[in-house]
Amino acid sequence: MVQALGHITINSVRDLGKAGWFLLYSFYMIVRRPGSLVHILKQMRFIGTKSLFVIVLTAAFTGMVLGLQGYYTLAKFGSEGMLGVAVALSLIRELGPVLAALMVTGRAGSAITAEIGIMRISEQIDALETMALDPFKYLVTPKFIAAMISLPLLCAIFDVIGIYGGWLVGVKLLGVNPGAYFYEMEKSVVWRDVYSGFVKSFSFGVIIAWISCYKGYYAGHGAEGVSRATTEAVVLTSVLILVWDYFLTSVLL
Amino acid sequence: MITLRNVHKSFGFQKVLDGLDLDIPEGKITAIIGPSGEGKSVLLKHLIGLLHPDSGQVQVDGESMVGVRRSQLNRIREKFGMLFQNVALFDSMTVYENVAFPLQEKTKLSKNEIRHLVLDALEDVGLKNIENKYPDELSGGMKKRVGLARAVVLNPKIILFDEPTTGLDPIIKRAIHQLIKDTHAKFGYTAVIVSHEIPEIFDVAQNVAMLYRGKILQQGSPEEIENSDHPAVRQFISGSLDGPIHMI
């Protein structure tokens, strides 16, 4: 019992150290050898462009439901005119970065882990090493850079689509004054809100690339090892995004 | 010349290499034979620094591979080419891109020069008109030959072969062995082959070492090994169930 507990503790500390080293080395490599532009653009297409559809879809419905819920709450105080502010602030400060990151985790993060994991178990990563080439340059840094650029952009798109989703429900369906919706929004949303959303989505990009690449890079044996790595990557990334979101919010607020 | 001195390696409680000493002579084909699961692939991975010994020394041309910086390791690795047991071709690249990859990344040759070298290397291994296929469209024997082309294309000093003929039919097996001999004669590299192919490997290799229980049991010319009076070596070569090696 005590032995097992000690074993688990030692293993988790070691994993933590390995993951930390992985992150540090990734940043070192981003500075030293960021990889070719072609690789980075390919990854941006995969992480960014191909996530657009799912981002637009979730953003539209998130904005619409915010419109509904916000209207319901604000109507109790007779201040439906503030709906635009409520929708925009929730999206820009919180829901945009978080939901966009969670969608990208499900769509691209899992695929990154599976891709690197399969390369690990089929010895393709070893093959790169035997050619005296650093696997990070080809497999890890392009994904880091792509995620760090794509996530803030996806988040921005999420915010805009969401705000129009709220507008559709609030203004067109529930009859909020269209002028008030945008005027109040413009008055209340400050640069700091946008900035905090940007910082969040940027750091979520780092988390997604970090955990997905790390889990794939150290995938276990065979198909089962890759499937376990993929599951762990998605769960861990999602949890980390929410935990980190809390800390960032408390600092940035 | 590659030398291993007193190399120990364990995975968990399982001892794989137990104080192993081995000299691999330059410019010759050295075969490493021995029962399955004795750690021949593990030994091969130590030579190129994919695995590191728990204790002991691995030296390539007098330079240590153990406990050195990554840049130093990579500099020594430039002398190597390796053909993996399952070939490990990059499966999202075509055959052409696979063979061209080390040239693009490690040399400053023009596209045209690379094209020539790649097509030459593919022709050396008897492959034509498959440049645009993907690895999963190829048979096992073709994959091995593409892997061989990728391993020789940078003209390395040392090439490691991890069971290059396992799972192939007898004719392709012979063809692969012939290709190794031909490319060796052409380029003069140092070859290390992990193999189960008894007795065919004795025609290919100039130097044979038998790995057993984490040590090199005997090393010598193919004739010496074939005529060995060591009971475990004799049993392994004859494929007999009786003897010091217990499989069942």
Quote ipTM for the complex.
Answer: 0.88
Residue-level pLDDT at A116: 96
Ordered by start, the domain boundaries in chain B are 1-79+159-166+190-248
Q: Give contacts of B45 with chain A, Cβ < 8 Å.
A: 126
Give residue A136's pLDDT band: very low, low, confident or very high (50, 70, 90). Answer: very high
Which secondary structure element, helix H or strand E, spans residue B192, and what is its range? strand B190-194
CATH superfamily of B1-79+159-166+190-248: P-loop containing nucleotide triphosphate hydrolases (3.40.50.300)
Which secondary structure element, helix H or strand E, spans residue B231, and what is its range? helix B231-238
CA distances from B190 to B60, B88, B137, B162 (A): 11, 21, 31, 14
Average pLDDT over residues A19-28: 94
Residue-level pLDDT at B55: 93
- Nearest CA-CA partner of A210 in A25, A11, A12: A25
Tens-digit pLDDT profile for residues A192-245: 999 999 999 999 999 999 999 999 999 988 899 999 999 999 999 999 999 999
DSSP string, B9-58: EEETTEEEEEEEEEEE-TTSEEEEE--TTSSHHHHHHHHTTSS--SEEEE
Residue type at A250? S
Are A131 and B105 in contact (CB < 8 Å)? Answer: yes
pTM of this structure? 0.88
Tens-digit pLDDT profile for residues B167-212: 888 888 998 899 899 889 988 999 999 998 888 899 999 999 999 9
In percent, the amount of chain A with pLDDT more than 70 equals 100
Q: Which two tokens stand for residue A169?
A: 């429900």
| Helical segments of chain A, H only | 2-32, 37-47, 52-76, 83-89, 96-104, 110-121, 124-130, 135, 141-167, 178-188, 191-217, 222-252
Q: Give contacts of B82 with chain A, Cβ < 8 Å.
A: 127, 130
Ordered by start, the domain boundaries in chain A are 36-252
Residue-level pLDDT at A79: 87
- Nearest CA-CA partner of B219 in B210, B229, B228: B210
d(CA A95, CA A61): 12
Residue-level pLDDT at A1: 84
- Nearest CA-CA partner of B192 in B179, B212, B178, B206: B206
Answer whether A123's CB lies under 8 Å from B84's CB. yes
CB-based contact, A131 to chain B, within 8 Å = yes
Q: Which two tokens stand for residue B174?
A: 């012979």
Q: Compare CB distances from B77 to A118, A122, A130 and report the shortest one's residue.
A: A130
The distance of A211 to chain B (nearest Cα, Å) reads 23
Are B77 and A127 in contact (CB < 8 Å)? Answer: no
CB-based contact, B1 to chain A, within 8 Å = no
- The mean pLDDT of chain A is 93
Residue-level pLDDT at A111: 95
Average pLDDT over residues A74-89: 90
The distance of B213 to chain A (nearest Cα, Å) reads 25
Residues of chain B with pLDDT under 50: none
d(CA A97, CA A242): 10
Q: Which two tokens stand for residue A43?
A: 């990854």
What is the DSSP code (8-state) at residue B79?
T
Which secondary structure element, helix H or strand E, spans residue B159, and what is its range? strand B158-162
With a CB cutoff of 8 Å and minimum separation 6, the contacts of B82 are A127, A130, B48, B151, B159, B160, B161, B162
Backbone angles phi, psi at B2, to 5 degrees: -115, 130
